[in-house]
């Protein structure tokens, strides 16, 4: 229990609930086929984003990958612009040219997300390296999934960040599957992912990615370590993807995991579990929680209306922005 700051507990829960409700609503609306872009929902994986980003200053940059909604929202990215982007509208965060897989909000310190696995790891390192070249110390936080640790870009980036002791925090959310491929076909048996960075002399942590307090506290240690100039840090959080890899539906009919697996996975629900904990501790009341739900639902409705009512980009924008002036 975060005894020392009860208000932080409440903010963490509320922010996680917010992402849960946004993702749930967008997944429902996806069935209308108006969001016409590949969309990787963060349902079940909201808590890591919240627990990590709560430590960050606005100007500290983060990068993400294909499943980026939670990171974008937790960092303070505009909800309206995100929803509009999913609807392909001109008012979207990338003017409709990006979609769910290419979110950006520079005002919020969200440098960008791309779906090529591992690609944003060196880009995030570069954001920190930039400050290093200018004689400054600037934290950069990079979110990626377990599969990214199978790319060369990950190892190359880890090595380079370690050489120059760059203040980079690599957050690996291990949700056990890459699309549908299990860890057993992707990693030798018995290898613990958080041991790998130690071979580069990089400090690493391992934590439960469904426990908001554990996430928050581990991230705090990791970020403090990086900020203090000791070099990069790696954190592996174990969490669980509730929906199919890409899209709003279940995937248990495809045979790689069972309905029972998903039911078990959902037992580690970061929202429900932390809510129960805070209720029991008397920090939260049911009426407070209901009030949040109402407020958030209104915020979501407003964002959806904004997105739906926004104009599409004009056809002239097709050829715009090929090159920067």
Partner 1 sequence: MSRELKFVEALQEAQDLCLERDPSVYVMGLGVSDGAAMFGSTKGLVEKYGPKRILDMPVSENAMTGVALGSALTGMRPIMVHLRLEFAMLAMDQIVNQAAKWHYMFGGQASVPMVIRMVVGRGWGQGAQHSQSLHSWFAHVPGLKVVLPATAYDAKGLLISAIEDNNPVIFIEHRWLYNMTDKVPKGMYRVPLGKSNVLLKGNDVTIAASSYATIEALNAAKELEKEGISIEIIDIRTINPLDEEPLLESVKKTGRLIVADIGWKHAGFAGEIVSRVVEKVYQYLKEPPIRITLPDVPTPTTRALSNFYYPLPSDIVSAVKKLLGKAAESKPDIKPEDFLDVPYLEFRGPF
Name which of 39 and 218 has its Cβ closer to partner 1: 39
Distance in angstroms (rounded) separating the CA atoms of residues 239 and 212: 11
Quickly list H helices, the chain.
Answer: 6-30, 46-53, 69-74, 79-86, 120-133, 152-163, 212-227, 259-266, 270-280, 286-309
Shortest distance, position 226 Cβ to partner 1, whole Å: 16
CB 96 within 8 Å of CB 89: yes
Distance in angstroms (rounded) separating the CA atoms of residues 271 and 41: 16
Name which of 124 and 209 has its Cβ closer to partner 1: 124
Shortest distance, position 108 Cβ to partner 1, whole Å: 12
Name which of 59 and 184 has its Cβ closer to partner 1: 59
* 28 burial level (CB within 10 Å; 0-12, 13-18, 19+): exposed
Shortest distance, position 132 Cβ to partner 1, whole Å: 8
Shortest distance, position 100 Cβ to partner 1, whole Å: 12
Shortest distance, position 119 Cβ to partner 1, whole Å: 6
CB 237 within 8 Å of CB 48: yes
CB 48 within 8 Å of CB 69: no
CA within 13 Å, CB half, 262: 17
Element (H, E) at 141: strand 140-145
Name which of 104 and 212 has its Cβ closer to partner 1: 104
Distance in angstroms (rounded) separating the CA atoms of residues 309 and 299: 15
Name which of 44 and 109 has its Cβ closer to partner 1: 109
Name which of 152 and 282 has its Cβ closer to partner 1: 152
Binding footprint of partner 1 on the chain (CB under 8 A): 61, 63, 92-98, 102, 104, 106, 111-112, 114, 116, 119-131, 133-134, 140, 152-153, 156-157, 159-160, 163, 320-325
Shortest distance, position 87 Cβ to partner 1, whole Å: 14
Quickly list H helices, 104-211.
Answer: 120-133, 152-163
């Amino acid at each position: 229990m975060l005894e020392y700051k009860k208000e932080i507990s409440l903010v963490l829960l509320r922010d996680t609930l917010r992402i849960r409700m946004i993702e749930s609503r967008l997944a429902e609306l996806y069935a209308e086929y108006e969001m016409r872009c590949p969309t990787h929902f963060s349902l079940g994986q909201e808590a890591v984003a919240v627990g990590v980003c709560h430590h960050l200053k606005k100007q500290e940059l983060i990068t993400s990958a294909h499943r980026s909604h939670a990171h974008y929202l937790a960092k303070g990215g505009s909800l309206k612009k995100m929803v509009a982007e999913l609807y392909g509208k001109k008012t979207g965060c990338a003017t409709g040219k990006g979609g769910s897989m290419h979110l950006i909000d520079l005002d919020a310190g969200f440098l960008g997300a791309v779906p090529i696995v591992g690609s944003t790891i060196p880009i995030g390192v570069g954001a920190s390296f930039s400050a290093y070249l200018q004689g400054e110390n600037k934290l950069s936080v990079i979110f990626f999934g377990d599969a990214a640790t199978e790319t060369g870009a990950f190892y190359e980036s880890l090595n380079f960040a370690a050489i120059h002791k760059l203040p980079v925090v690599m957050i690996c959310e291990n949700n056990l599957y890459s699309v549908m491929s299990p860890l057993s076909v992707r990693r030798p048996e018995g290898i613990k992912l958080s041991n790998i960075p130690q071979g580069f002399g990089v400090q690493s942590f391992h934590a439960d990615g469904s426990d908001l307090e554990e996430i928050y506290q581990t991230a705090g240690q990791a970020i403090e370590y990086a900020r203090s100039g000791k070099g990069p840090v790696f954190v592996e959080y174990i969490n669980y993807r509730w929906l199919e890899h890409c899209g709003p539906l279940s995937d248990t009919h495809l045979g790689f995991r069972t309905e029972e697996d998903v039911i078990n996975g959902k037992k580690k629900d970061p929202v429900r579990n932390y809510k129960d904990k805070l209720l029991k501790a008397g920090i939260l009341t049911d009426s407070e929680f209901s009030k949040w739900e109402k407020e958030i639902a209104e915020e979501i409705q407003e964002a959806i209306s904004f997105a739906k009512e926004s104009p599409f980009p004009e056809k002239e924008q097709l050829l715009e922005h090929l090159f920067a002036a």
